[in-house]
Amino acid sequence: EVQLVESGGDLVQPGGSLRLSCVASGFTFSNYAMNWVRQAPGKGLEWVSDSNNRGDSTSYADSVKGRFTISRDNAKNTLYLQMNSLKSEDTAVYYCAKEAMELADWGYYTGMNYWGKGTLVTVSR
């Protein structure tokens, strides 16, 4: 059974930093690209970032580029999102999601077929 468990969400002041983690199980983590997606209160889903299966090709939404960094440790089956210079508009539930196709090349992803339950990040004074 595929499981994705996020953690690390918290209340943080504007300008602060957080690191989110997502521990994966039930599949060969090192064979799949992974994503971070967020949902702000009252809004739809927003894709944030992705990483290929090796972690050497990544992409970011313009809204987080230069502030967030995605990384992964395939030995620990864990995906990370380092978030710096946080803004109030980063307040959201953050989900990690698994790419559907095994060994998909960066830029040729087909969609996300498993999601975690999310972790809440609140940026406020």
pLDDT at 87: 98
Q: How far apart are CA 3 and CA 105, in angstroms?
A: 23
Please say if the pLDDT value at position 120 is more than 90.
yes
Residue showing tokens 């889903």? 45
SS3 90: helix
Question: Is the CA virtual torsion 44, 46, 22, 98 positive or negative?
Answer: positive
Mean pLDDT of 88-101: 97
Question: Is the backbone of residue 107 left (phi > 0), alpha (psi -120 to 50) or beta?
Answer: left
Residue 67 sits at the vertex; the CA angle it makes with 65 and 59, to the nearest 5 degrees, is 35
pLDDT at 97: 98
Q: How far apart are CA 94 and CA 78, in angstroms?
A: 15
Task: Give the pLDDT band (50/70/90) at residue 62.
Answer: very high
Q: Please give the structure tokens belonging to residue 56.
A: 């050497």
